[in-house]
């Protein structure tokens, strides 16, 4: 990853797709495979996601400060918020630590990875259409009022996103929707849950790949990090407004179309 334009392109792809239910990792893999970019770099792909996560910290800074101050005085809402985020993160932390080598191998496989992504995009799109049509009437309107069993259940569903192309935000949101969480709350929860999840994934990736990191590699990661942060700030603001008006169905059709195009392109390479 030494070419500046490639790094910027991948940073843009990450920033645009991290919080949309379309799979940022899947798009990074397909970008590498279909545009003839260098072989996928799992450490780079994982770490630049942290730039997009930083955008959430900035955009929701007031919310986080309110929770932090609430914890100081043992406010029930702040305690419930923190509990639910940590419970949602727990399953991914356990599975990710165990399955890291396998996940990295899939991400870096030049032929298997893109094919898995293309299929997962299509299947995920169909799943969105089905869940948007059949989701039960919501009874949870905020992260603070979410039950602990619901938070843990969403965390278990989030583990599906370790399959490239599934989408972490998509799995989180759709899992929440099947558990009677409102669309807006499910979207917000996916943002908040991304913070510990990607912090953990980034820390693990940097530690496991520490012997492979040179100056050029670190520079590429830093540039990709900054680009994804800037782009994600814009995308998150747009996404919240779009979902409140149109739901997730447009993203389902995008996934299905992108998956079909990717399969055709991979077959013709």
Among the listed residues 269, 268, 262, 267, the one whose alpha carbon sits nearest the alpha carbon of residue 30: 262
Task: Judge contact between 122 and 259, C-beta under 8 A.
Answer: yes
217: pLDDT strictly greater than 70: no
Domain total of the chain: 1
31: pLDDT strictly greater than 90: no
User: 140 in helix, strand or coil?
Assistant: strand
Length of the chain: 269
- According to DSSP, the residues that pair with 181 across neighbouring strands are 140
Task: Judge contact between 170 and 128, C-beta under 8 A.
Answer: yes
Q: Which residue range forms the structural domain that includes residue 132? A: 4-268
Tokens of 233: 């700030």
Whole-model pTM? 0.84
pLDDT of residue 121: 96
**pLDDT tens sequence across 53-98:** 889 999 999 999 999 999 999 999 999 999 999 999 999 888 877 8
Cα dihedral 143→46→11→126 (10° resolution):
-60
Task: Judge contact between 198 and 134, C-beta under 8 A.
Answer: no
Tokens of 72: 């100081």
């Amino acid at each position: 990853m030494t070419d500046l334009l490639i790094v910027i392109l991948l940073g843009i792809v990450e920033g645009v797709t991290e919080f949309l239910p379309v799979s940022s990792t899947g798009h990074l893999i397909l970008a590498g495979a279909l545009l003839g970019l260098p072989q996928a770099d799992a450490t780079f792909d994982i770490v630049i996601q942290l730039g997009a996560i930083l955008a959430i910290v900035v955009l929701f800074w007031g919310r986080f400060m309110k929770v932090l101050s609430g914890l100081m005085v043992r406010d029930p809402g702040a305690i419930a918020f923190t509990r639910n985020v940590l419970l949602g993160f727990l399953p991914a932390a356990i599975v990710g630590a165990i399955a890291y080598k396998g996940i990295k191998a899939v991400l870096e496989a030049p032929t298997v990875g893109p094919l898995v992504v293309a299929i997962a995009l299509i299947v995920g799109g169909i799943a969105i259409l089905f869940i948007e049509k059949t989701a039960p009437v919501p009874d949870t309107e905020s992260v603070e009022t979410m039950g602990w069993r619901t938070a843990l259940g969403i965390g278990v569903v989030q583990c599906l996103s370790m399959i490239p192309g599934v989408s972490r935000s998509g799995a989180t949101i759709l899992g929440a929707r099947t558990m009677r969480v409102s669309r807006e709350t499910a979207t917000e929860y996916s943002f908040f849950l991304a913070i510990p999840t990607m912090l953990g994934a980034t820390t693990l990736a940097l530690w496991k790949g520490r012997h492979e990191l040179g100056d050029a590699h670190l520079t590429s990661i830093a540039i990709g990090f900054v680009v994804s942060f800037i782009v994600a700030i814009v995308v998150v603001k747009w996404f919240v407004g779009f979902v409140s008006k149109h739901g997730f169905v447009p993203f389902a059709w995008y996934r299905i179309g992108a998956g079909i195009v990717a399969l055709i392109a991979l077959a013709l390479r």
